[in-house]
A and B are shown apart, each in its own frame.
Chain A
Amino acid sequence: MLRLPRFSYRRPASAREAAAMVAEDPEQTLLLAGGTDLLPKLKRRQLAARVLVDVRHLAELAGIRPGPAGAVEVGGGVTLAAAAGDRTLVGALPGYATAAGQVSSPPLREAGTIGGNLCVDTRCNYYDMGEEWRRAIGYCLKKDGVQCLVAPGSSRCWAVSSSDTAPMAIALQGVVVLVGPDGERELPVADLYRDDGIDYLAKRPHEVVARLRLPAPPGRRSAYVKLRRRGSIDFPIAGAAVALDLDGPAIVSARIVLSAVGSSPVEAVAAEAFLTGRRWDEETVLEGARLAAGPAKPLDNADGSHFWRKRMVRVVVEQALRAAAPVPAVSVAGTAGAT
């Protein structure tokens, strides 16, 4: 039986107290929510901590409720299962509910939280293995080693951002409320990440993700499409989150954020610029998907060959665009899809 290393457990009474507990010894203390990312990593000795500070029970992190200006506020401690099934989210921000509902497997979603999913560690199949395996292959940069095993010439780590909900939250222009020992601050989710497989979060280690605020203006459409080889359990190996505002046939704004193609969620800026102001039709969708796939450069450190993943990015973007809003059929006969 694979077992956890020793740690002690603390249960703060508030998010602020939790942050203060971490701040006491940030090197050796970790926030714990559902534990579905943290505990496997501790068991495999990818992370080390003397103290775990539990936040899952905190009332401040609970519940999904209306926020200012029609936004929806999702507590950081809300489980993925609760978010996926929430009526408000399913109705107003279906892409978000879908993303939460596609994380891993049903029992895991009963424990895993929204806050934990925003902060989930980056992944790499040279890193997400047991201690003995990593010792045998030679530790890498991300933990205990001196070189990257995927890109040996590189001085940085290319571990893959593998959260399903983060790209969707960015596409929806979400904002997180972070609680520190001395108070709260707000940060757009887009600014929560750094393009670095090791130091992937831009927040301070002690800051608690208390809430996620998702604007939900009337008429906003959203969709999330995830690529993985099995129907369940697997992390994304590519994914597309789309948020769309249409005014009749005109695209007022389009946001496309990709999952699992870089060390942070990757916003498809060129595609967004192209789409904005254009007509929502077949041709636009195809070109938007083509442009969105451009910046994606998967490496050979996740499931599926990087050749195939790269090629699939365009497909998932196209599928997500179509899922976000029906695309009027082209007037001329012809089939889309074949390459």
Chain B
Amino acid sequence: MVNETATAGEVRVVRLRVNGELRSALAPVHATLLEVLREQLGLTGTKHGCELGECGACTVLVDGRPQLSCLALPVQVEGREITTIEGMAVGPDLHPLQRSFVETGAVQCGYCTPGMLLTAAALLEEQPHPSRAEVEAALAGNLCRCTGYVKIVDAVLLAADRAGTGRMPDGPVDGAGA
């Protein structure tokens, strides 16, 4: 007979504040934050490309700072505010960075995009008017294979510029389908 509870190890209830909601999950302590977000909480917007800290695809925000969820243990971030890509838009309204990514063509395959967006959000929080070089430095832990980074950096600068001048377009993004 097949035993369906093959996985043991130390299991605990972790209570995480994710995107403003208090979520709890019963998880082995050796499951990373990445695994718990994707597999237990259904937040598959967080991507992964190596699980070893080498690509940045799994970046989430912990208390507003970018961290690699593949190298974080949920028990270590209990009580802290976790933001994933699913928490960036407010309801149906895109975050200014999400909007500028869409408009500038900063998204190709989109696999690096969640990590890029969250990292960029943390940067603009700390430095609302970054130079091109500062944006590149901030995103340097997030690999992208599609864009050559050009339009990603453009998009971050566009969002910063709009925030600075208060020129924020509203309404649906021109031409983009849902």
Whether A and B touch directly in their complex, counting CB atoms under 8 A apart, is answered as yes
Q: Establish whether residues A106 and B119, one from each chain, have CB atoms under 8 Å apart when the complex forms.
A: yes
Flag the segment in A59-67, A107-115, A287-295, A302-310 that touches B. Answer: A107-115
Q: Establish whether residues B141 and A107, one from each chain, have CB atoms under 8 Å apart when the complex forms.
A: yes
The contact string, 1 if C-beta is below 8 Å from chain B, for chain A 17-60, is 00000000000000000111001100110000000001011000
Q: Establish whether residues A81 and B140, one from each chain, have CB atoms under 8 Å apart when the complex forms.
A: no
Q: Establish whether residues B28 and A6, one from each chain, have CB atoms under 8 Å apart when the complex forms.
A: yes
Chain B residues lying within 8 Å of A11, measured Cβ to Cβ, are: 75
Q: Establish whether residues B35 and A111, one from each chain, have CB atoms under 8 Å apart when the complex forms.
A: no
- Given A4-B30, A8-B29, A81 and B65 contact (CB-CB distance below 8 Å): yes
Q: Establish whether residues A7 and B10, one from each chain, have CB atoms under 8 Å apart when the complex forms.
A: yes
Q: Establish whether residues B137 and A106, one from each chain, have CB atoms under 8 Å apart when the complex forms.
A: yes
Q: Establish whether residues A43 and B52, one from each chain, have CB atoms under 8 Å apart when the complex forms.
A: yes
Q: Establish whether residues A108 and B141, one from each chain, have CB atoms under 8 Å apart when the complex forms.
A: yes
Residues of B within 8 A of A (CB): 8-10, 28-32, 34-35, 48, 50-54, 56, 59, 62, 65-68, 71-73, 75-76, 119, 137-143
Within 8 A of B (CB), among A97-138: 104-108, 110-111
How many chain-A residues does the 8 Å CB contact rule pick out? Answer: 31
Closest residue of chain A to B138 (Cβ to Cβ) is A106
Shortest Cβ distance from residue A123 to the other chain B in the assembled complex, whole angstroms: 13
Query: Total number of A-B contacts with CB less than 8 angstroms?
Result: 97
Q: Identify B54's interface contact among A4, A34, A233, CB under 8 A.
A: A233
Chain A residues lying within 8 Å of B51, measured Cβ to Cβ, are: 1-3, 43
Q: Establish whether residues A105 and B56, one from each chain, have CB atoms under 8 Å apart when the complex forms.
A: yes
Majority DSSP secondary structure for residues of B touching A: loop
Q: Can you report 17 residue pairs joining A to B where beta carbons are below 8 Å apart?
A: A1-B48, A3-B35, A3-B51, A4-B32, A6-B9, A6-B10, A6-B30, A7-B30, A40-B53, A43-B51, A44-B52, A104-B53, A107-B66, A107-B119, A108-B68, A108-B141, A232-B140
Majority DSSP secondary structure for residues of A touching B: loop
The contact string, 1 if C-beta is below 8 Å from chain B, for chain A 76-109, is 0000010000000000000000000000111110
Q: Identify B68's interface contact among A6, A8, A81, A107, CB under 8 A.
A: A107
Interchain CA distance A217-B147 in the complex, whole Å: 48
